Homo-oligomer: A and B are copies of this chain.
Amino acid sequence: MGKITIKDVAREAGVSISTVSNALNNVDVLNPVTKSHVLKVAKQLNYVPNLNGKQLRSGKTKMLGFFTTSVSGPYFYKLVESMSRECDRLGYGLNVFITKDRHVIMSNILGRRVDGAIIYEELRIDEEDITAMEKEKIKAVFLDRVLQNETMGSVIFDSYVAGYEATKYLISLGHKKIAYISGVDTMFDSVERKEGYLAALRQYQLPTSEDYILQGYFEEEGTYNAVKSFIHLHPDKLPDAFLAGNDVSAIGCIQALKKHGYEVPLDISVMGFDDIDIAQYFSPPLTTVRNQIARQGSLAVNHLVHMIQKKELGSAQKLACELVVRGSSHVKIDRNDHI
Protein backbone atom coordinates (compact mmCIF):
# COMPACT_ATOMS: atom_id res chain seq x y z
CA MET A 1 0.00 0.00 0.00
CA GLY A 2 1.46 3.30 -1.11
CA LYS A 3 1.05 6.79 0.24
CA ILE A 4 -2.43 7.60 1.51
CA THR A 5 -4.02 10.54 -0.27
CA ILE A 6 -7.14 12.56 0.14
CA LYS A 7 -8.72 10.20 -2.37
CA ASP A 8 -8.29 7.25 -0.06
CA VAL A 9 -9.84 9.12 2.79
CA ALA A 10 -12.76 10.07 0.59
CA ARG A 11 -13.36 6.51 -0.52
CA GLU A 12 -13.02 5.10 2.97
CA ALA A 13 -15.37 7.70 4.43
CA GLY A 14 -17.83 7.33 1.59
CA VAL A 15 -17.76 10.99 0.64
CA SER A 16 -16.27 13.11 -2.11
CA ILE A 17 -12.81 14.61 -2.23
CA SER A 18 -14.16 18.11 -1.77
CA THR A 19 -15.93 17.10 1.38
CA VAL A 20 -12.72 15.73 2.83
CA SER A 21 -10.88 18.87 1.87
CA ASN A 22 -13.54 21.02 3.49
CA ALA A 23 -13.51 18.93 6.63
CA LEU A 24 -9.74 19.12 6.98
CA ASN A 25 -9.55 22.83 6.32
CA ASN A 26 -12.35 23.82 8.63
CA VAL A 27 -14.57 25.25 5.93
CA ASP A 28 -17.84 25.56 7.80
CA VAL A 29 -20.34 24.47 5.19
CA LEU A 30 -20.33 20.88 6.34
CA ASN A 31 -22.76 18.98 8.44
CA PRO A 32 -20.94 18.56 11.76
CA VAL A 33 -21.69 14.85 11.68
CA THR A 34 -20.09 14.33 8.28
CA LYS A 35 -17.17 16.49 9.28
CA SER A 36 -16.32 14.59 12.42
CA HIS A 37 -16.79 11.32 10.61
CA VAL A 38 -14.35 12.36 7.91
CA LEU A 39 -11.89 13.58 10.49
CA LYS A 40 -12.10 10.29 12.31
CA VAL A 41 -11.44 8.30 9.16
CA ALA A 42 -8.54 10.59 8.24
CA LYS A 43 -6.91 10.10 11.60
CA GLN A 44 -7.54 6.40 11.51
CA LEU A 45 -5.78 6.12 8.16
CA ASN A 46 -2.95 8.32 9.44
CA TYR A 47 -3.58 10.68 6.60
CA VAL A 48 -1.10 13.53 6.19
CA PRO A 49 -1.77 16.04 3.43
CA ASN A 50 0.87 16.30 0.74
CA LEU A 51 2.25 19.78 1.01
CA ASN A 52 3.38 20.01 -2.58
CA GLY A 53 -0.11 19.39 -3.87
CA LYS A 54 -1.51 21.78 -1.35
CA GLN A 55 0.96 24.49 -2.17
CA LEU A 56 0.63 24.09 -5.89
CA ARG A 57 -3.10 24.41 -5.78
CA SER A 58 -3.36 27.19 -3.23
CA GLY A 59 -0.36 29.19 -4.35
CA LYS A 60 0.68 29.53 -0.73
CA THR A 61 3.27 27.74 1.35
CA LYS A 62 2.83 29.39 4.73
CA MET A 63 6.60 29.52 4.87
CA LEU A 64 8.94 32.46 5.12
CA GLY A 65 12.50 32.20 3.91
CA PHE A 66 15.48 33.64 5.74
CA PHE A 67 18.39 33.95 3.36
CA THR A 68 21.78 34.43 4.92
CA THR A 69 25.45 33.75 4.33
CA SER A 70 25.92 32.25 7.77
CA VAL A 71 24.27 31.38 11.03
CA SER A 72 27.49 31.44 13.01
CA GLY A 73 27.84 33.66 15.99
CA PRO A 74 25.60 35.21 18.57
CA TYR A 75 24.07 37.78 16.26
CA PHE A 76 22.64 35.21 13.94
CA TYR A 77 21.27 32.80 16.40
CA LYS A 78 19.51 35.47 18.39
CA LEU A 79 18.09 36.73 15.16
CA VAL A 80 17.00 33.35 13.88
CA GLU A 81 15.51 32.38 17.20
CA SER A 82 13.40 35.50 17.39
CA MET A 83 12.28 35.18 13.80
CA SER A 84 11.31 31.60 14.36
CA ARG A 85 9.33 32.47 17.45
CA GLU A 86 7.47 35.23 15.66
CA CYS A 87 6.73 32.99 12.69
CA ASP A 88 5.25 30.44 15.05
CA ARG A 89 3.06 33.07 16.57
CA LEU A 90 1.77 34.17 13.18
CA GLY A 91 1.14 30.71 11.82
CA TYR A 92 4.10 30.55 9.48
CA GLY A 93 7.09 28.28 9.25
CA LEU A 94 10.60 29.60 8.90
CA ASN A 95 12.95 28.30 6.31
CA VAL A 96 16.62 29.10 6.79
CA PHE A 97 18.75 29.08 3.67
CA ILE A 98 22.49 29.41 4.12
CA THR A 99 24.05 30.27 0.79
CA LYS A 100 25.99 32.87 -1.09
CA ASP A 101 24.56 31.85 -4.44
CA ARG A 102 22.27 34.53 -5.78
CA HIS A 103 20.77 32.01 -8.16
CA VAL A 104 19.76 29.65 -5.37
CA ILE A 105 18.10 32.50 -3.58
CA MET A 106 16.16 33.76 -6.55
CA SER A 107 14.95 30.37 -7.67
CA ASN A 108 13.67 29.65 -4.19
CA ILE A 109 11.87 32.96 -3.98
CA LEU A 110 10.58 33.23 -7.53
CA GLY A 111 9.94 29.49 -7.60
CA ARG A 112 7.55 30.04 -4.71
CA ARG A 113 9.08 27.78 -2.19
CA VAL A 114 8.32 30.53 0.30
CA ASP A 115 5.62 33.16 0.58
CA GLY A 116 8.08 35.90 1.41
CA ALA A 117 11.75 36.48 2.07
CA ILE A 118 13.94 38.02 4.73
CA ILE A 119 17.33 38.75 3.27
CA TYR A 120 20.53 39.46 5.11
CA GLU A 121 22.37 42.38 3.67
CA GLU A 122 25.67 40.70 3.00
CA LEU A 123 24.03 38.88 0.11
CA ARG A 124 23.76 42.10 -1.85
CA ILE A 125 20.90 41.20 -4.13
CA ASP A 126 20.99 43.33 -7.31
CA GLU A 127 18.45 45.91 -8.32
CA GLU A 128 17.62 43.64 -11.22
CA ASP A 129 16.58 40.84 -8.91
CA ILE A 130 14.55 43.19 -6.79
CA THR A 131 12.74 44.35 -9.89
CA ALA A 132 12.00 40.75 -10.79
CA MET A 133 10.50 40.25 -7.36
CA GLU A 134 8.40 43.36 -7.66
CA LYS A 135 6.98 42.20 -10.97
CA GLU A 136 5.85 39.00 -9.34
CA LYS A 137 4.49 40.95 -6.40
CA ILE A 138 6.76 39.04 -4.09
CA LYS A 139 7.38 40.58 -0.69
CA ALA A 140 10.76 40.83 0.97
CA VAL A 141 12.36 42.48 3.98
CA PHE A 142 16.05 43.32 4.02
CA LEU A 143 18.15 43.29 7.17
CA ASP A 144 20.88 45.82 7.82
CA ARG A 145 20.50 47.32 4.42
CA VAL A 146 19.05 50.60 3.24
CA LEU A 147 17.14 50.53 0.00
CA GLN A 148 16.73 53.17 -2.63
CA ASN A 149 13.74 51.18 -3.59
CA GLU A 150 10.48 51.90 -1.82
CA THR A 151 8.65 48.67 -2.50
CA MET A 152 10.49 46.34 -0.13
CA GLY A 153 10.80 46.48 3.63
CA SER A 154 13.93 46.85 5.71
CA VAL A 155 14.90 46.73 9.35
CA ILE A 156 18.16 48.35 10.28
CA PHE A 157 19.96 49.45 13.39
CA ASP A 158 20.79 53.07 13.81
CA SER A 159 24.47 52.30 13.69
CA TYR A 160 25.50 55.83 12.93
CA VAL A 161 24.07 57.01 16.22
CA ALA A 162 25.58 53.96 17.91
CA GLY A 163 29.05 54.84 16.68
CA TYR A 164 28.53 58.45 17.60
CA GLU A 165 27.31 57.74 21.12
CA ALA A 166 30.04 55.22 21.83
CA THR A 167 32.72 57.67 20.79
CA LYS A 168 31.12 60.45 22.77
CA TYR A 169 31.16 58.20 25.81
CA LEU A 170 34.87 57.44 25.40
CA ILE A 171 35.59 61.15 25.02
CA SER A 172 33.61 61.80 28.19
CA LEU A 173 36.05 59.51 30.02
CA GLY A 174 38.84 61.85 29.03
CA HIS A 175 40.22 59.87 26.10
CA LYS A 176 41.60 61.88 23.25
CA LYS A 177 43.40 59.37 21.05
CA ILE A 178 40.67 56.97 20.01
CA ALA A 179 41.20 54.28 17.40
CA TYR A 180 38.48 52.53 15.46
CA ILE A 181 38.71 48.88 14.45
CA SER A 182 36.74 48.52 11.28
CA GLY A 183 34.71 45.49 10.21
CA VAL A 184 33.93 44.75 6.61
CA ASP A 185 33.70 47.85 4.45
CA THR A 186 30.82 46.60 2.36
CA MET A 187 28.66 46.18 5.41
CA PHE A 188 26.21 48.81 6.38
CA ASP A 189 26.70 48.55 10.14
CA SER A 190 30.45 48.73 9.89
CA VAL A 191 30.44 51.81 7.72
CA GLU A 192 27.79 53.64 9.72
CA ARG A 193 29.54 53.03 13.01
CA LYS A 194 32.71 54.43 11.58
CA GLU A 195 30.92 57.49 10.26
CA GLY A 196 29.37 58.08 13.66
CA TYR A 197 32.79 57.70 15.26
CA LEU A 198 34.33 60.23 12.89
CA ALA A 199 31.46 62.64 13.41
CA ALA A 200 31.90 62.58 17.17
CA LEU A 201 35.64 63.19 16.90
CA ARG A 202 35.05 66.15 14.63
CA GLN A 203 32.39 67.58 16.87
CA TYR A 204 34.77 67.54 19.84
CA GLN A 205 37.58 68.94 17.74
CA LEU A 206 39.69 65.83 18.13
CA PRO A 207 42.00 64.89 15.27
CA THR A 208 41.02 62.01 13.00
CA SER A 209 43.73 59.96 11.40
CA GLU A 210 43.86 57.07 8.95
CA ASP A 211 46.48 55.46 11.18
CA TYR A 212 43.84 55.13 13.84
CA ILE A 213 41.52 53.11 11.68
CA LEU A 214 42.48 49.44 11.73
CA GLN A 215 40.97 46.56 9.78
CA GLY A 216 39.69 43.77 12.00
CA TYR A 217 37.10 42.24 9.66
CA PHE A 218 34.65 41.71 12.51
CA GLU A 219 36.72 38.73 13.55
CA GLU A 220 38.61 37.85 16.68
CA GLU A 221 41.71 36.67 14.91
CA GLY A 222 41.69 39.41 12.30
CA THR A 223 41.54 42.02 15.01
CA TYR A 224 44.13 40.27 17.12
CA ASN A 225 46.58 40.42 14.24
CA ALA A 226 45.71 44.00 13.32
CA VAL A 227 46.26 45.26 16.86
CA LYS A 228 49.42 43.23 17.21
CA SER A 229 50.96 44.65 14.08
CA PHE A 230 49.85 48.15 15.07
CA ILE A 231 51.72 47.78 18.34
CA HIS A 232 54.82 46.64 16.48
CA LEU A 233 54.63 49.44 13.93
CA HIS A 234 53.71 52.34 16.21
CA PRO A 235 54.72 51.39 19.77
CA ASP A 236 54.86 55.07 20.66
CA LYS A 237 51.53 56.09 19.18
CA LEU A 238 49.26 53.77 21.12
CA PRO A 239 45.73 55.20 21.50
CA ASP A 240 43.96 55.85 24.80
CA ALA A 241 41.04 53.77 23.68
CA PHE A 242 39.97 51.30 21.02
CA LEU A 243 36.47 51.37 19.65
CA ALA A 244 36.05 47.95 18.05
CA GLY A 245 33.51 47.41 15.28
CA ASN A 246 31.83 44.66 17.29
CA ASP A 247 32.28 42.67 20.50
CA VAL A 248 34.02 39.77 18.87
CA SER A 249 36.53 42.25 17.54
CA ALA A 250 36.83 43.90 20.96
CA ILE A 251 37.71 40.54 22.46
CA GLY A 252 40.43 40.01 19.88
CA CYS A 253 41.72 43.48 20.62
CA ILE A 254 41.87 42.88 24.35
CA GLN A 255 43.64 39.55 23.80
CA ALA A 256 46.31 41.30 21.77
CA LEU A 257 46.75 44.09 24.33
CA LYS A 258 47.00 41.62 27.21
CA LYS A 259 49.54 39.61 25.28
CA HIS A 260 51.74 42.70 24.99
CA GLY A 261 51.48 43.55 28.65
CA TYR A 262 48.86 46.28 28.52
CA GLU A 263 46.09 46.31 31.06
CA VAL A 264 42.51 46.87 30.02
CA PRO A 265 40.96 49.20 31.03
CA LEU A 266 43.67 50.82 33.18
CA ASP A 267 46.14 51.39 30.38
CA ILE A 268 43.72 51.39 27.50
CA SER A 269 39.93 51.36 27.29
CA VAL A 270 38.29 49.03 24.82
CA MET A 271 34.67 48.81 23.81
CA GLY A 272 32.64 47.01 21.20
CA PHE A 273 29.18 46.77 19.72
CA ASP A 274 26.39 44.18 19.93
CA ASP A 275 26.50 43.02 23.57
CA ILE A 276 26.91 39.37 22.69
CA ASP A 277 26.30 36.71 25.34
CA ILE A 278 29.86 36.37 26.51
CA ALA A 279 30.37 40.13 26.73
CA GLN A 280 29.31 40.22 30.36
CA TYR A 281 31.34 37.19 31.34
CA PHE A 282 34.50 38.16 29.56
CA SER A 283 37.38 39.39 31.62
CA PRO A 284 37.12 42.33 31.81
CA PRO A 285 33.40 42.48 31.13
CA LEU A 286 32.85 44.38 27.91
CA THR A 287 31.56 47.91 27.69
CA THR A 288 29.49 47.86 24.54
CA VAL A 289 26.50 49.17 22.62
CA ARG A 290 23.58 46.83 22.52
CA ASN A 291 21.43 46.31 19.48
CA GLN A 292 17.92 44.99 19.78
CA ILE A 293 18.61 41.87 17.77
CA ALA A 294 15.55 39.94 18.87
CA ARG A 295 13.48 42.99 18.09
CA GLN A 296 14.95 43.13 14.63
CA GLY A 297 13.98 39.54 13.99
CA SER A 298 10.43 39.78 15.22
CA LEU A 299 9.89 43.10 13.51
CA ALA A 300 11.14 41.77 10.20
CA VAL A 301 8.80 38.81 10.35
CA ASN A 302 5.90 40.93 11.45
CA HIS A 303 6.45 43.44 8.75
CA LEU A 304 6.81 40.77 6.09
CA VAL A 305 3.66 38.95 7.10
CA HIS A 306 1.81 42.22 7.13
CA MET A 307 3.02 42.98 3.60
CA ILE A 308 1.98 39.56 2.40
CA GLN A 309 -1.44 39.50 3.98
CA LYS A 310 -2.48 43.09 3.38
CA LYS A 311 -0.76 43.19 0.00
CA GLU A 312 1.02 46.35 1.00
CA LEU A 313 4.42 47.74 0.13
CA GLY A 314 7.24 47.69 2.62
CA SER A 315 8.87 50.48 4.53
CA ALA A 316 12.17 51.18 6.28
CA GLN A 317 12.29 50.57 10.02
CA LYS A 318 15.09 51.81 12.24
CA LEU A 319 15.90 50.44 15.69
CA ALA A 320 17.49 52.47 18.48
CA CYS A 321 20.55 51.23 20.36
CA GLU A 322 21.64 51.29 23.99
CA LEU A 323 24.97 51.98 25.72
CA VAL A 324 26.04 49.27 28.18
CA VAL A 325 28.86 50.32 30.48
CA ARG A 326 30.95 47.51 32.01
CA GLY A 327 34.53 46.89 32.99
CA SER A 328 36.52 47.30 29.80
CA SER A 329 36.36 51.09 29.82
CA HIS A 330 37.75 53.45 32.43
CA VAL A 331 38.38 57.13 33.02
CA LYS A 332 41.67 58.12 31.43
CA ILE A 333 44.62 57.70 33.78
CA ASP A 334 47.79 59.56 32.97
CA ARG A 335 50.49 57.10 33.98
CA ASN A 336 53.06 59.93 34.07
CA ASP A 337 51.40 61.08 37.27
CA HIS A 338 52.83 58.09 39.04
CA ILE A 339 56.42 58.79 38.09
Contacts and interface: CB of A to CB of B under 8 A. Distances in A.
Contacts of A56: 50, 52-53, 56
B281 A49 contact: no
Contacts of A111: 48-51, 54
A98 B81 CA distance: 8
Given A51-B112, A77-B77, A132 B98 contact: no
Q: Size class of A's contact patch?
A: 35 or more
Interface string A124-142: 0000000010001000000
Given A93-B104, A220-B281, A81 B77 contact: no
B72 A107 contact: no
Given A50-B56, A111-B50, A283-B283, A71 B80 contact: yes
Contacts of A61: 52
Contacts of A255: 281
A77 B73 CA distance: 7
Contacts of A97: 93-94
A70 B159 CA distance: 28
Copies of this chain present: 2
A184 interface: no
A75 to B, nearest CB: 11
Contacts of A251: 281
Interface in A221-252: 251
Interface in A20-59: 46, 48-56
A77 B84 contact: no
Given A94-B98, A99-B88, A52 B55 contact: yes
Interface of A: 3, 46, 48-56, 61, 70-73, 76-78, 80-81, 84, 88, 93-99, 104, 106-108, 110-113, 132, 136, 220, 251, 255, 278, 281-283
